[in-house]
Homo-oligomer: A and B are copies of this chain.
């Protein structure tokens, strides 16, 4: 199997590797046995690994592609990238992503951490799969208003509540709609003590948990009635590819300011950027561009996605680069 190695060398490498890996001898002992210097044994072992005489195989659970995760993390400077295995149906896919995200969040939480919580079906899936982590006393705060038009479990309040219940923590609900008529109403609302205080709590969270929304007509923002089909179309026309907490970005990660932005009742991109760690969750076939845009906005610290999206996003980066920036 190993090429470019003469038989004697191959044999020596195999012998030394055997002592090291099978018999668990120290390099010093091996050096003694083969009448070599200790560093020499170290180099031979390194060489055995490099030439494939020693083959280390990791039995990865079915569907888990760690290399893909690394490339994703590398491409966007993420601290963590979690890729959930591909699944057949949309619902199954969301379940898998939710589960992966839940496991990740459980590992990541430490005692008393405050978490700002966004909305969407992907976060709802996370909450559904969330089991008690080792950490206790975590505080989950809505980072966005709610909407009565969609399934309750996808609203931030419900998600925060579910997370708090599962982890023996506390939840802070935001009693405000996600979208209001105009900027003036929003500002008034935010001045309300019950609303403003929750926003302040969210803005100072140590961790934010957000979904990544698309700009198709079936996206959460439209389904929840925050935006009309005409409004989302206008956003698309302005280059919007996706949103985080109601703030839309274009494919290069720049926020689209006009004119809906002031009506959103949620943490802004700038507030999000000040939160030390932002965990984004996304899945679904309509999301690649949205994920690309949000990742390029540079606010995301960790990403949980399904495998098709992961591949698609990396593909987009490559084609983008090929076209020149």
| Interfacial residues, chain A to chain B (CB-CB below 8 A) | 1-2, 7-8, 10-11, 14-15, 17-18, 21-23, 33-35, 48, 52-61, 64, 66-67, 70, 80, 103, 107-108, 110
- Nearest Cβ on chain B to A287's Cβ, whole angstroms: 23
Chain B residues with CB under 8 A of A80: 33
Contact B56 A54 (CB under 8 A): yes
Contact B70 A35 (CB under 8 A): no
Contact A35 B110 (CB under 8 A): yes
Chain B residues with CB under 8 A of A52: 59
Chain B residues with CB under 8 A of A57: 54-57
- Nearest Cβ on chain B to A79's Cβ, whole angstroms: 8
Contact A58 B10 (CB under 8 A): no
Chain B residues with CB under 8 A of A103: 8, 11
Contact A15 B66 (CB under 8 A): yes
Contact A55 B56 (CB under 8 A): yes
Task: Pick the residue among B1, B70, B107 that contacts A59 (CB under 8 A).
Answer: B1
Contact A70 B23 (CB under 8 A): yes
Expressed in whole angstroms, the Cα–Cα distance for A8 and B106 within the complex equals 12
Task: Pick the residue among B17, B58, B108 that contacts A58 (CB under 8 A).
Answer: B17
Chain B residues with CB under 8 A of A58: 14, 17-18, 21-22, 48, 53-55
Output the residue of A2, A33, A34, A64 with the most chain B CB within 10 A.
A64
Copies of this chain present in the complex amount to 2
Contact A35 B1 (CB under 8 A): no
**Chain B residue nearest to A54 in the complex (CB):** B58
**Chain B residue nearest to A60 in the complex (CB):** B14
Expressed in whole angstroms, the Cα–Cα distance for A103 and B23 within the complex equals 22
Chain B residues with CB under 8 A of A18: 58, 60, 66
- Nearest Cβ on chain B to A82's Cβ, whole angstroms: 9
Expressed in whole angstroms, the Cα–Cα distance for A17 and B34 within the complex equals 30
Contact B56 A21 (CB under 8 A): yes
4 more A-B contacts (CB under 8 A) besides A14-B66, A18-B58?
A14-B59, A33-B80, A55-B56, A55-B58
Expressed in whole angstroms, the Cα–Cα distance for A80 and B15 within the complex equals 12
- Nearest Cβ on chain B to A162's Cβ, whole angstroms: 20
Contact B66 A22 (CB under 8 A): yes
Chain B residues with CB under 8 A of A70: 23
Chain B residues with CB under 8 A of A15: 66
Chain B residues with CB under 8 A of A107: 34-35
**Chain B residue nearest to A135 in the complex (CB):** B35
Task: Pick the residue among B23, B35, B60, B108 that contacts A35 (CB under 8 A).
Answer: B108
